[in-house]
Structure 1
Amino acid sequence: MPPAAVRPPPIAILIAITAIGPLALNIFLPSLPGLVRVFHTDYGTAQLALTLYLVGIAFGQLIYGPLSDRFGRRPVLLAGLGVFVIGSLLAALAPSIGLLIGGRVVQALGGCAGMVLGRAIVRDVYERDKAASTLAYITMAMAVAPALAPAIGGFLDVWFGWQASFLFVLAFGAVVWVWCLASARETNFQRQPLPGLRGMAVGYGELLRSPVFLGYALNTAFTTAVFFAFLAGAPYIMIELLKRPASEYGALFILVSAGYALGNFIAARLAVKVGARRLVLAGSLVNLTGVLVMGGLGLAGEFSASSIFLPMCIVAAGNGLGMPNGIAAAISVNPRLAGSASGLLGFLQMSVGAVSTVAVGFLKGDDQMAMVAVMMVAVLLSLLAYGLAVSVRVRADGTVPAPGTTD
């Protein structure tokens, strides 16, 4: 149970720190196809700026969780934001694709601090169902940044070149760092010893042996992979195949983020009343519906921006509905390891998401069906993971969770 004396931080700070990583990811996407021409490379190499960003976020989250359990959320958050600013500067000044990718990795290692610690801070100060509701409001509000980011990035790319998006997020990161320095308070007063590599492995092993944690974490990871498969494929489809400008891709992405925000709004209103378990399942089924619609349109020969982005709005709504509840359920399994659980969850999300981007890049063809195939595999695996979380609970105690409970 969170200590009564812990004062919740301003929700605006939680939104800002959680938004930094997705902002840096999404604002860059409209520039991705153009890097092929700028650096005289191929699309697969340029796409490493996306894939290795996700890998950096994945591994960074394994570190921030235990560090924040030991030293507190505030100092670790400030250190991570500083690394993000440095990485953004390195990427903006990169003279080659290799150095750009390296800057993106540093940027990711810093940007993931807010993603991990935002979740852990919420868990520090709220009970599980209230945490799910709060996370939904945070992700609904922060969806504005990823919604606007591709549009901003597209126009910055057209007007000023690809470096402008990195300078934009550098400035944003610096402002948030100063804001946190002045306003962010510590929320972790139950410090755990720094485990070392062996201790970290023991802690992560303890979490992975929990079927409930593993089921919800993998459900969230594969749900994320559905979204990242779209992020990997849609810019190539829009800009290279459909010959649409980067600014149009950015503008259409606002619709996707609006769908995500709608799902978050529904989750925030229903999390306490309905329970995390039901909303995770509902979100996964909505995801499946959206992918089926996109695939059906593709099989019918529809190949246009609307046949891709409109079904993706359904998928995004499912993500927004299920993910806050899956996250809250996973990190509430062991409150003693809330930071580590948040980090491990983030690692699974980003590593599985990175695999989905590689798969889309490897399979890409002359329409949307390769992307749809990867999305379909991911959404089916998310449903299997949900089944693991629920069915193992039944075998463990011999009971079926009551309607509305949040096992």
Structure 2
Amino acid sequence: MLRPASSAPHLLTLILLTGNSVLTLNMFLPSLAHMAEDFEVSYGVMSIAVGAYLLMTAVTQLLMGPLSDRYGRRPVILWGLGIFTLASVVCAVTSDITVFLVARMFQSASATGMALSRAIVRDQYDDRESASKMATVAMIMAIAPMLGPSIGGLMDAAFGWRANFVLYALSGLALLVLCYVDLGETNQNQSTDFGSQFREYPELVTSRRFWGYALCAAFSVSTFHIFVSGAPLVVSAAFEMGTAELGAYMGTITLGFIIGSAISSRISRHFQLSTMMIVGRIVAVTGLGLAAALILMGYLSIPLFFGAMVLSGAGNGMTTPNANVGVMSIRPHIAGSASGLSSALIVFVGALTTTVTGAVVNIETGAFMLPFLMCLASVIGLVAALSVRAIDMREGRAVGA
């Protein structure tokens, strides 16, 4: 007989929750064309399953964060996984495109795992230890975006596109059982009512430190969105790569992220959050800026271009775990709300930068514009990180005085 958990979850459980959120976005992407044929709709209509899903994940995280501060992390995650599992079953069996798209929107409940995993870590550890734990989660979870499309493509080839959604349903059910027996409540300071909780929001949203952390995280992650939206066009034209070779090189930014996360997991506990954020942004700006300058001067090569992507990913691996912890350190009693708001901001900034990339990147100038745009986003993240450091120093002097 399964017994409900009464202690904090293992780190592996949080990694699986976060990885499931990523796979829900990207695993079925290779099947989009087949799905459009099956539903007898255009590829553009079928793409709503991606764009609208991203929008819904932002909304979901905005809602689930406050709910977890009021009722606890455990019930919100369990309900989220239940909704995700049922929605996945509907997606797997329906032959109506409207029903499919509605169910796909409800699959966004999987984003609960990503947003609240951060809050669960923050519930248990201080800022620096939280950053180290989150870096460990991020380092292992980064494998999901690399493996997801490959798994989805194989499932489609062997069993058809619906197999991906069957797998989603099975993974949702397995995670629901796992969290029931392993994920005990970690929020020991639940608000008594939404009124008292919302009264703390002004102090959160008017905090310059909060927005410094949140904007640093959002524009750091946006470099990945810029890369994946522009690289297929740019790389195939600039280096005449086939799809298989392109796929291999697309993993360089994720490889860099794993390296940066590994570094962060080992040393974050010894440094201030803003220090790790600044170092990560400097690594990214240096690599991307140098590559953009050399490409503009005519020195274009595969090692230069993708070496910059490795440094960009490494910088993100050092920056984002610390920025995510900082977001939740402003008002620890509403850490779930802070994490949800920050996660939604990441989605919105990602959508904005992806749109800009599509508008300005082309075959002729793309080899320069792609690292340039990524460098520009990294510079904005660096400015945000420096603003946090300035506030830390100013408040430190005030405390000393």
Q: Tell me the TM-score range normalised by the shorter chain.
A: 0.7 to 0.9
**Could you tell me whether the CA contact under 8 Å between 1:35 and 1:41 is conserved in 2?**
no
Check 1:272–1:303 CA distance in 2 against 1; reply closer, same or farther (3 A cut).
same
User: In structure 1, what is the Cα distance between the partners aligned to 2:27 and 2:307?
Assistant: 21
**Could you tell me whether the CA contact under 8 Å between 1:279 and 1:322 is conserved in 2?**
yes
Partner residue in 2 for 1:276: 273
**Could you tell me whether the CA contact under 8 Å between 2:84 and 2:172 is conserved in 1?**
yes
User: In structure 2, what is the Cα distance between the partners aligned to 1:103 and 1:309?
Assistant: 38
Q: Tell me the TM-score normalised to structure 1 length.
A: 0.83
Is residue 143 of structure 1 aligned with residue 142 of structure 2? yes
User: In structure 2, what is the Cα distance between the partners aligned to 1:234 and 1:81?
Assistant: 33
Partner residue in 2 for 1:111: 110
User: In structure 1, what is the Cα distance between the partners aligned to 2:169 and 2:216?
Assistant: 32
Matches within 5 A, 1:6-405: 7-31=7-31, 41=42, 48-92=48-92, 101-108=101-108, 110-195=109-194, 202-235=199-232, 244-245=242-243, 250-292=247-289, 295-296=292-293, 299=296, 309-366=306-363, 367-369=366-368, 371-396=370-395, 398=397
Q: Which amino acid aligns with 1:289?
A: T
**Could you tell me whether the CA contact under 8 Å between 1:238 and 1:305 is conserved in 2?**
no
Check 1:135–1:149 CA distance in 2 against 1; reply closer, same or farther (3 A cut).
same
Q: Which amino acid aligns with 2:12?
A: A
The offset of 1:102, in angstroms, is 4.1
Query: Structure 1: which 5+ runs fail to align?
Result: 1-5, 402-407
User: In structure 1, what is the Cα distance between the partners aligned to 2:285 and 2:99?
Assistant: 38
**Could you tell me whether the CA contact under 8 Å between 1:30 and 1:235 is conserved in 2?**
no
Deviates more, 1:368-377 or 1:123-132: 368-377
The offset of 1:226, in angstroms, is 1.2
Q: Tell me the TM-score normalised to structure 2 length.
A: 0.84
User: In structure 2, what is the Cα distance between the partners aligned to 1:294 and 1:36?
Assistant: 39
The offset of 1:10, in angstroms, is 0.9
**Could you tell me whether the CA contact under 8 Å between 1:24 and 1:169 is conserved in 2?**
yes
The offset of 1:64, in angstroms, is 1.1
Deviates more, 1:299-308 or 1:113-122: 299-308
Deviates more, 1:97-106 or 1:346-355: 97-106
Deviates more, 1:261-270 or 1:248-257: 248-257
Check 1:157–1:363 CA distance in 2 against 1; reply closer, same or farther (3 A cut).
farther
Check 1:278–1:65 CA distance in 2 against 1; reply closer, same or farther (3 A cut).
same
User: In structure 1, what is the Cα distance between the partners aligned to 2:298 and 2:166?
Assistant: 41
The offset of 1:237, in angstroms, is 5.2
The offset of 1:399, in angstroms, is 5.6
Q: Which amino acid aligns with 1:107?
A: Q
Give secondary structure in 1 for the equivalent of 2:27: helix
User: In structure 1, what is the Cα distance between the partners aligned to 2:90 and 2:305?
Assistant: 34
The offset of 1:295, in angstroms, is 3.3
Check 1:317–1:177 CA distance in 2 against 1; reply closer, same or farther (3 A cut).
same
Q: Considering only aligned residues, what root-mean-square deviation do their CA atoms show, in Å? A: 3.3
User: In structure 1, what is the Cα distance between the partners aligned to 2:17 and 2:168?
Assistant: 12
Check 1:150–1:399 CA distance in 2 against 1; reply closer, same or farther (3 A cut).
farther
**Could you tell me whether the CA contact under 8 Å between 1:151 and 1:248 is conserved in 2?**
no
User: In structure 2, what is the Cα distance between the partners aligned to 1:80 and 1:95?
Assistant: 24
CA deviation map 1:41-76 (0-9, x unaligned): 366x66544333322221211111111111111110
CA deviation map 1:371-393 (0-9, x unaligned): 44542332221112112222234
CA deviation map 1:353-406 (0-9, x unaligned): 1222222334442245554454233222111211222223444554699xxxxx
User: In structure 2, what is the Cα distance between the partners aligned to 1:93 and 1:298?
Assistant: 49
User: In structure 2, what is the Cα distance between the partners aligned to 1:243 and 1:160?
Assistant: 29
User: In structure 2, what is the Cα distance between the partners aligned to 1:288 and 1:98?
Assistant: 44
**Could you tell me whether the CA contact under 8 Å between 1:67 and 1:194 is conserved in 2?**
no
User: In structure 2, what is the Cα distance between the partners aligned to 1:112 and 1:264?
Assistant: 21
In our comparison, the structure showing a higher alpha carbon Rg is: 2
Deviates more, 1:365-374 or 1:350-359: 365-374
Deviates more, 1:26-35 or 1:379-388: 26-35
Aligned residues: 391
The offset of 1:298, in angstroms, is 5.2
Deviates more, 1:123-132 or 1:391-400: 391-400
Check 1:78–1:153 CA distance in 2 against 1; reply closer, same or farther (3 A cut).
same
User: In structure 1, what is the Cα distance between the partners aligned to 2:293 and 2:157?
Assistant: 34
User: In structure 2, what is the Cα distance between the partners aligned to 1:235 and 1:94?
Assistant: 32
